[in-house]
Amino acid sequence: MHESQIHQNRRRPFVERFLVVLVALTCLRIWFGPFPLLERAEAQIPDAGLQRKQLIDEARRTNELLSDIKRILEAQTLHPAPEGADNQRR
């Protein structure tokens, strides 16, 4: 036998074992399904009632602010002072 044949004969069982392990791992992956390396993003189920309540609360707060602005405008006279475009007084 030549040296190359001896070397190939020694390498052959290693390659065969490697292929068997690779096929076994592939079968296990198919059997159990994919294992994600990163966690999946899981969406929360929207709570429509809570969303409506938040919208109503915000609408009430907006109405309060607008009522305050209306009361100030009715009770006082505003005297805006014109300023330059660079916001520096002259």
Residue 82 inside a domain? The answer is no
Domain membership of residue 40 (yes or no) is no
- In the chain, the number of structural domains is 1
Which residue, chain included where needed, has tokens 């994919």?
Answer: 34
At residue 5, does pLDDT exceed 70?
A: no
43 within domain boundaries: no
The answer to whether residue 88 sits within a structural domain is: no
**10/18 Cα distance (integer angstroms):** 14
Rounded distance between C-alpha atoms, residue 9 and residue 14, angstroms:
10
Residue 13 within a domain:
yes
Determine, yes or no, domain membership for 9: yes
pLDDT digits (tens, 9 = 90+) for 11-70: 778 888 999 999 999 888 888 877 666 677 777 788 899 999 999 999 999 999 999 999
